Structure 1
Amino acid sequence: MSPESELQDLAGFIANPNPQVRFLAIESLAALSLEKPALFKKDSLTPIKHCKFLVRDDPKIAEHALTILINLSGDTEVLEFIATDDKFLGIILANVVDPSEPNANLISMLLANLAKHNSLQSLLTRTQPAPAKLGSDPLVLNQLMDLFVKGADGTYNPSANYDYLAYLFADLAKHPPIRQFLVGGPQPYDSVVPLNKIKVFTEHPSTVRRKGVASAIKNAAFDVPSHAAFLDDDAVNILPYLLLPIVGGEPYDDDDMLDMLPDLQLLPPDKKRDPDATIVQTHVETLTLLATTREGRDLMRQVKVYPVIRETHARVDDENVQEACERLVQILMRDEADDGPGRIADEEDDEDEDQMIVPM
């Protein structure tokens, strides 16, 4: 049977009362989502509509349907078709917070891809009942952040770690209202500033989690009025979470060491900086954003950020990292009398995270 014929017969397979028939059909089609993605756009995206329906089927069938949707959501037309389907979003959002959902990681990946569409800003106001085990409130965005935290050690749902929600947060943080939500103050139900829930993962073993969190923090830092909260010890206190990942075990002068943040003092000689150069670059760029204000620059000078950046520049053999370090050094070492407030935060937001696909 040709791929075209398989897709044409998909509607018949969905209606078949035998789940094994439905499974074999969707399994064979999942591979085509990478090989022949254009076939799924035939007949006004009817194959995509079928896949959205199958997400509610047996978990093994739903697994392949989600895989197809993940792999095809990089297409602008398909993304629009999925991300603006409010009923479908309600289904997958309810499923992802279910502690017994076997496909929660795939749903997390799909949500991360869908966040590239502006309509996902609706998560800031969308509500749904929260599972008792999650201990969250009705706001979906709060639920997703609590899910990300509780899923880190695999105890909330044995089938999921929810790492890809970090990419969801990174893309959502491109939008000013969500930036303000992340840093604007503690949530009433748990008295925690939302950004504080994810900042602790800048040194997590998962590269996906670290990378997404780094980008989320950077995008949130484009909100210049929130910089005071970013730097306040009693609010977000972000500097230790940006500096620790880019510090290695190299020695520093005693005078510099005494002025550094307590978290950076007396680190073991085998301390490793983040091995992913793109993450190091992102953290340095976030520091540069926080140097937009005079208060940010003065604090970084006070706690000896310059020696850390100097060593990062010398020890990370990556052109982009070195350029980012040089830019920050120029800002920190300049004479304040020669220039006014920095204008770094007028730049564009961080690039979107790559669209996820599920290899077959």
Structure 2
Amino acid sequence: MPSQLEELVSFLHSSQPAVRQIALDNLVGFSTGPTAAIFKYDNCKAIEDLKNLSQEKSKVLVQQSVTILANLCDDDQLRKLVASDEEYLEWLTWKICDLENTSADIMCVLLSNLAKEDVITKVFCFTRENTDKSLPSLDRSVFKSDKLIDCLMDCFVKGYDRKLNKYANFDFLSYFFADISRFKRGRQYFIEEQEYDGVVPLSKLLVFTEKYDCKIRREGVASTIKNSLFDSETHERILIDEQINLLPYILLPIASAKDSEIDEEDMFNLPDELQLLPEDKTRDPVPAIICSHLESILLLCTTKVGREFLRSKSVYPLIRELHKNIEDEDVADLCYRIVNVLMRGEPENDQLEELPSKAADEGDGEEEESDDEAVVEVA
């Protein structure tokens, strides 16, 4: 006999709208923790019901069903079940780009959670050329590309602080970007100039490294930058490309106006953006985000051209000041590793073996999850 909760789950596919609403009202609170297992009742039929409910016109139905789906992503089996539905994934991603969508932000949370699965790379294939089914509307005054990934980038960059959609700020797309940059196709996207606007996507994200009123954006962007640097053969181009101008944006979050012991010569070798900082300039308040930027610097140290470039830009004195002025073991360890690489003699070959943890698609799967890699649960 099914339990009362399992019976409640079965009501999600009732033919009566009022019954479905009552079921959702009562089930949201059971979608996290051990009780989430009830959604596996009857061969996980609830997942199909929830996907259908998320496409209803009712704001309440959509919010609750997507919230449950986002929370259920903490379960590997249920997450794979949702992510493997290509048609639903395509609908969800285009729906986020609907600027009238009142549930865009919670859908961004769901998308970022689904991005833990390798099938997320399908988003690079989604375009508006698909006419087999009706897709959510697209405002052509905002979106100039037919590619879904370009439109999501536009949502994130142009839509912060509810500038595009009064119901959404698209912050959680930063976690989605961090996850797709684990894959080589994702890394290539972020560092290559895009045909539709002639801009390198990574350069659009850099300004958010100092958006101190939004930890989610800074955290996701910092991880996206780091993951985009895992292919060492691209480092020279990324560093010297003035259109990207990467280095200042990974140094500014770790710099403070109180770093007073950098001498004048070193100061004027720093990138222009770090010279004569305003008196109120502070470091990122989150040590984990500082660590992400330090890992990016360590990745840039893996080639001789990268090390020489960092030395020429007085990165060592900046790292030295950070090490002296912040008390965090992880930060201190990364500072030590960077200083050790920059200040010791050059190895016989150009490549160093020392790397931060590899991107997830290339690693052994046993590393501890960072905050942006973990599934986001919604209260």
Q: What is the TM-score normalised by the length of structure 1?
A: 0.94
Q: What is the alpha-carbon distance in structure 2 between the residues aligned to residue 30 and residue 191 of structure 1?
A: 44
The answer on 1:84 being equivalent to 2:84 is: yes
Deviation at 1:94, TM superposition (A): 2.0
Deviation at 1:348, TM superposition (A): 1.6
Cα contact 1:180–1:223 (8 A) shared by 2: no
Q: Structure 1 stretch 130-139 or stretch 266-275: which is displaced more?
A: 130-139
* CA offsets 1:255-297 (integer angstroms, 9 cap, x no match): 2111111100010222110000000000001000011111111
* CA offsets 1:198-219 (integer angstroms, 9 cap, x no match): 1221111210000000001101
Q: Gaps spanning 5+ residues in structure 1: where?
A: none
What does residue 6 of structure 1 align with? 8
What does residue 146 of structure 2 align with? 138
Q: Give 3-state SS (helix, strand or coil) of 1:9's partner.
A: helix
Q: What is the alpha-carbon distance in structure 2 between the residues aligned to residue 33 and residue 133 of structure 1?
A: 38
What does residue 55 of structure 1 align with? 54
Deviation at 1:134, TM superposition (A): 2.4
The answer on 1:295 being equivalent to 2:293 is: no
Q: How does 1:201-280 map to 2 (within 5 A)?
A: 201-204=208-211, 205-250=213-258, 251=260, 252-280=262-290
RMSD: 1.7
Q: What is the alpha-carbon distance in structure 2 between the residues aligned to residue 11 and residue 108 of structure 1?
A: 25
Deviation at 1:136, TM superposition (A): 3.0
Q: Structure 1 stretch 331-340 or stretch 288-297: which is displaced more?
A: 331-340
Q: What is the alpha-carbon distance in structure 1 between the residues aligned to residue 352 and residue 63 of structure 2?
A: 48
Cα contact 1:94–1:128 (8 A) shared by 2: no
What does residue 134 of structure 2 align with? none
What does residue 193 of structure 1 align with? 200
Q: What is the alpha-carbon distance in structure 1 between the residues aligned to residue 30 and residue 356 of structure 2?
A: 42
Cα contact 1:180–1:226 (8 A) shared by 2: no
Q: What is the alpha-carbon distance in structure 2 between the residues aligned to residue 177 and residue 93 of structure 1?
A: 18
Cα contact 1:309–1:329 (8 A) shared by 2: yes
Cα contact 1:229–1:235 (8 A) shared by 2: no
Q: What is the alpha-carbon distance in structure 1 between the residues aligned to residue 155 and residue 76 of structure 2?
A: 28
Q: What is the alpha-carbon distance in structure 2 between the residues aligned to residue 65 and residue 128 of structure 1?
A: 26
Deviation at 1:232, TM superposition (A): 1.4
Q: What is the alpha-carbon distance in structure 2 between the residues aligned to residue 340 and residue 149 of structure 1?
A: 37
What does residue 41 of structure 1 align with? 40
Deviation at 1:339, TM superposition (A): 6.1
Q: Give the percent of matched residue pairs that are identical in Structure 1 and Structure 2.
A: 36
What does residue 27 of structure 1 align with? 25
Residue 163 of structure 1 is aligned with which of 160, 166, 171? 171
Q: Gaps spanning 5+ residues in structure 2: where?
A: 130-137, 361-368
Q: What is the alpha-carbon distance in structure 1 between the residues aligned to residue 252 and residue 164 of structure 2?
A: 28
Cα contact 1:136–1:146 (8 A) shared by 2: no
Residue 374 of structure 2 is aligned with which of 338, 354, 357? 354
Q: Cα distance 1:102–1:87, how it changes in 2: closer, same or farther (>3 A)?
A: same
Q: Give 3-state SS (helix, strand or coil) of 2:217's partner.
A: helix
Q: What is the TM-score normalised by the length of structure 2?
A: 0.90
For 2:120, the aligned partner's letter is: L
Deviation at 1:347, TM superposition (A): 4.5
Q: How many residues align?
A: 354
Cα contact 2:257–2:280 (8 A) shared by 1: yes
Q: What is the alpha-carbon distance in structure 2 between the residues aligned to residue 223 and residue 284 of structure 1?
A: 17
Structure holding more helix per residue: 1
